[in-house]
Chains A and B, each alone.
Chain A
């Protein structure tokens, strides 16, 4: 059946069950509570002075008594430098464990070696906020019998609270830890900053292993993961490739196109009515999105407007803005570059936050709810402003939902920045492959060829037009783009559902279908 935003989503999927249909971005929140029950964290006990140390990762994993059908979780703070996830699954596979549900907060190219375990039945189910590389491609081609579930960062926290993701084992890499399992990502040779996505895993998993390549004297501070949730601690030679975990300071793009879009987006923000003293702000980590921060920084200095807080994935650029006194605080769920680590360590206004506080819709107010302005990217956007950030132009999984829908839902002003087409591929389209973020939560689209305001925000359209910005109808922009690059050949799919796109409230907003291969 077609859901409320016109996506074809079956009411029932074999192996999954009845589908809880998306009902609108804020419909479920309006009640003031969540229908699902919050589960209790596991009860555990340890004898005084009992050692948690294990000689290696294999011993630690064996001590947790792994079993077929278990769910294992990881965080993705090590990004493309991660050594731990694949190593852990190798160990489980060697032990003959089958039917694993993998619940990593995201999967990257570095996890390509897992593909063999998807093929041989070691891993049969996946929860993740994003999937890139060979795994994404294989999933799109139907390597798993069951569809993967793509959740948002806030949605993941909600799913763990409710037991929808029922964690048997959390294997948590840390750049520093002590013998009791107090752990942090803020220092050590593999430092990666905030451990925002791992906190909830440590709280809810039945067994928790901390893996570090930097065992420090007790106590390890700052304490991001607390010892009272940790069962075992392992020291390894390396948790990952530091050069791929986090590198230096993030630089602003030099692409004239991205800079042009960013400048236009900054003008949109300036004239939106939300660029006021005390405003809060979030941008992405690269491309046009991060470049918006450059122009907002200049405007803040020029107008002497001081903001409240920077939220989200944090770069050194955000740290610079904090240090210049442009914002009062940074709330950091994920750090994008090495330069951020020392700020987390030393600046009391740079605060590490867990995923639930960041974006879980079902509590008394996550921080995305307090956002004024967020700038987001897009792989595709349709005429209803629905955004795809998960599937590429060939229909295969290659992106990440991340905090996209969480921040779009919470912010007073959600600005999507993207070129109107990339190469020969249109980005502004009549119909997109997959919807991750509903159009009702997107306020403005900024492209190099004009600014489109969601018709749900007529007052904003009027303000931006009055300010002399090039505001135009999204339908006109789409027609112009089609005139330049022509129509794409439609991607052909089979009926098999290979992915569910879970909205942050737990409903299903869209599905991903198997891409038809040439021989099919």
Chain B
């Protein structure tokens, strides 16, 4: 997920070319207070006119406790980007208020309530404590994300490259997302020149269960894709499992073994996920 400052027309216009899976057009922290309105207008117009080449587009609005949050929603919701990212989500009550406002705007514009989703961003200790309930609250919430910089500030700890201070928070967020079968997106890695550090951090995020990672520079996208893309061996193995499964299914055999190892439902699910990442159509196997 590539962050793009909402007040930068050149970057907004180029957003779709870098191969990110998702774009985050930011009206919040990336935009100075005196540029909030111009960024809002720019993002609104860009959403109307720019081809993002099929990349998922999210807009991070300002919190409703700020003077900008409501206006952001009034301008952006009618355009129905793929998702609204809501910063500093701390309680279910906040989420309830947000969804009420979004749905009122949608009603006003005769828009459905089930198209645009919400990404709740957890950036405070209180948010971390409430994350399971936040993730569970509404079907519109289809991803939980963590904001590492704000979280360390809220916890009054130093932001470190290894992320040790927010490790528990990362794991709690992943667990809450997994428990509710929604996505968990990891925080950014701020040193854009440290490719090795980014790789390690992404490998760790993948290992503990994050489904994706945010980036602040397009140069970071390739590393994240490299980490998340299955290896050739993994793809070959998944392909073989799927092929055997189909063959056995036709023969009426439920559970089977490959190289002496039993293939059951969790193994099948993992194989299907690998093939999906490799963009291999399971029906074609």
B-binding residues in A (CB < 8 A): 254, 256-257, 259-260, 263, 448-449, 468, 480, 484
Interface-central residue, A259, A260, A263, A449, by most chain B CB under 10 Å: A260
Given contacts A256-B217, A260-B19, whether A448 and B14 have CB atoms under 8 Å apart is: yes
Residues of chain A lying within 8 A (CB to CB) of residue B19 = 260
A-binding residues in B (CB < 8 A): 13-14, 17-19, 51, 53, 217-219, 222, 279
B222 touches A263 (CB 8 A): yes
A260 to B218, CA, bound (A): 8
**A158 vs chain B, min Cβ distance (A):** 41
Interface-central residue, A256, A260, A448, A484, by most chain B CB under 10 Å: A256
**B192 vs chain A, min Cβ distance (A):** 9
Given contacts A256-B18, A260-B218, 14 further A-B contacts (CB under 8 A): A256-B217, A256-B218, A257-B17, A257-B218, A259-B218, A259-B219, A260-B17, A260-B19, A263-B222, A448-B17, A449-B17, A449-B53, A480-B51, A484-B13
A31 to B51, CA, bound (A): 50
From the candidates A254, A448, A449, A468, name the one contacting B219 in the complex (CB within 8 A): A254
Residues of chain A lying within 8 A (CB to CB) of residue B222 = 263
Residues of chain A lying within 8 A (CB to CB) of residue B217 = 256
**B233 vs chain A, min Cβ distance (A):** 13
A260 to B11, CA, bound (A): 14
Residues of chain A lying within 8 A (CB to CB) of residue B13 = 484
Residues of chain B lying within 8 A (CB to CB) of residue A468 = 279
B14 touches A257 (CB 8 A): yes
Give the nearest-CB partner of B219 in chain A: A256
Residues of chain B lying within 8 A (CB to CB) of residue A480 = 51
Give the nearest-CB partner of B220 in chain A: A256
**B207 vs chain A, min Cβ distance (A):** 23
Residues of chain B lying within 8 A (CB to CB) of residue A484 = 13
Mind listing 8 A-B residue pairs with CB under 8 Å?
A: A256-B217, A259-B219, A260-B18, A263-B222, A448-B14, A449-B53, A468-B279, A484-B13
Residues of chain B lying within 8 A (CB to CB) of residue A263 = 222
A263 to B18, CA, bound (A): 10
Give the nearest-CB partner of B11 in chain A: A256
Residues of chain B lying within 8 A (CB to CB) of residue A254 = 219
Give the nearest-CB partner of A468 in chain B: B279
Residues of chain B lying within 8 A (CB to CB) of residue A260 = 17-19, 218
**A128 vs chain B, min Cβ distance (A):** 35
A254 to B193, CA, bound (A): 9
Give the nearest-CB partner of B222 in chain A: A263
Give the nearest-CB partner of A261 in chain B: B17
A392 to B2, CA, bound (A): 33
A194 to B55, CA, bound (A): 47
Give the nearest-CB partner of A480 in chain B: B51
A434 to B243, CA, bound (A): 56
**B214 vs chain A, min Cβ distance (A):** 16
Give the nearest-CB partner of A295 in chain B: B222
Residues of chain B lying within 8 A (CB to CB) of residue A259 = 218-219
A85 to B217, CA, bound (A): 44
Residues of chain A lying within 8 A (CB to CB) of residue B219 = 254, 256, 259
**A478 vs chain B, min Cβ distance (A):** 15
**A272 vs chain B, min Cβ distance (A):** 20
Give the nearest-CB partner of B13 in chain A: A484
Residues of chain B lying within 8 A (CB to CB) of residue A257 = 14, 17, 218
**B270 vs chain A, min Cβ distance (A):** 23
A256 to B53, CA, bound (A): 17
Residues of chain A lying within 8 A (CB to CB) of residue B53 = 449
**A421 vs chain B, min Cβ distance (A):** 10
Give the nearest-CB partner of B17 in chain A: A448
**A212 vs chain B, min Cβ distance (A):** 40
A119 to B53, CA, bound (A): 52
Give the nearest-CB partner of A423 in chain B: B10
**A452 vs chain B, min Cβ distance (A):** 15
A20 to B68, CA, bound (A): 68
Give the nearest-CB partner of B193 in chain A: A254
A257 to B217, CA, bound (A): 11
A90 to B14, CA, bound (A): 49
A468 to B222, CA, bound (A): 17
A448 to B218, CA, bound (A): 12
Residues of chain B lying within 8 A (CB to CB) of residue A256 = 18, 217-219
A263 to B218, CA, bound (A): 12
**A417 vs chain B, min Cβ distance (A):** 14
3 nearest A-B pairs in the assembled complex, by CB-CB distance: A256-B218, A448-B17, A256-B219
Residues of chain A lying within 8 A (CB to CB) of residue B14 = 257, 448
A480 to B53, CA, bound (A): 12
**B204 vs chain A, min Cβ distance (A):** 23
Give the nearest-CB partner of A256 in chain B: B218
**A495 vs chain B, min Cβ distance (A):** 39
**A386 vs chain B, min Cβ distance (A):** 25
Give the nearest-CB partner of A449 in chain B: B17
**B24 vs chain A, min Cβ distance (A):** 16
Residues of chain B lying within 8 A (CB to CB) of residue A449 = 17, 53
**B8 vs chain A, min Cβ distance (A):** 13
**B129 vs chain A, min Cβ distance (A):** 37
**B258 vs chain A, min Cβ distance (A):** 27
A448 to B16, CA, bound (A): 10
A480 to B218, CA, bound (A): 22
**B275 vs chain A, min Cβ distance (A):** 15
**B261 vs chain A, min Cβ distance (A):** 28
A257 to B218, CA, bound (A): 8
A282 to B222, CA, bound (A): 24
A263 to B17, CA, bound (A): 12
Residues of chain A lying within 8 A (CB to CB) of residue B279 = 468
Residues of chain A lying within 8 A (CB to CB) of residue B18 = 256, 260
A44 to B226, CA, bound (A): 64
A295 to B27, CA, bound (A): 34
A260 to B17, CA, bound (A): 8
A256 to B217, CA, bound (A): 8
A449 to B53, CA, bound (A): 9
A256 to B279, CA, bound (A): 25
A256 to B193, CA, bound (A): 12
A254 to B217, CA, bound (A): 10
Interface-central residue, B17, B51, B217, by most chain A CB under 10 Å: B17
**A423 vs chain B, min Cβ distance (A):** 9
A263 to B225, CA, bound (A): 13
**B13 vs chain A, min Cβ distance (A):** 7
**A68 vs chain B, min Cβ distance (A):** 53
Residues of chain B lying within 8 A (CB to CB) of residue A448 = 14, 17
Residues of chain A lying within 8 A (CB to CB) of residue B17 = 257, 260, 448-449
**A85 vs chain B, min Cβ distance (A):** 39
**B217 vs chain A, min Cβ distance (A):** 6
**A167 vs chain B, min Cβ distance (A):** 48
**A63 vs chain B, min Cβ distance (A):** 55
Residues of chain A lying within 8 A (CB to CB) of residue B51 = 480
A484 to B18, CA, bound (A): 17
Give the nearest-CB partner of B218 in chain A: A256
A260 to B51, CA, bound (A): 18
A449 to B18, CA, bound (A): 9
A484 to B53, CA, bound (A): 14
A263 to B13, CA, bound (A): 20
Residues of chain A lying within 8 A (CB to CB) of residue B218 = 256-257, 259-260
**A82 vs chain B, min Cβ distance (A):** 34
**B125 vs chain A, min Cβ distance (A):** 34
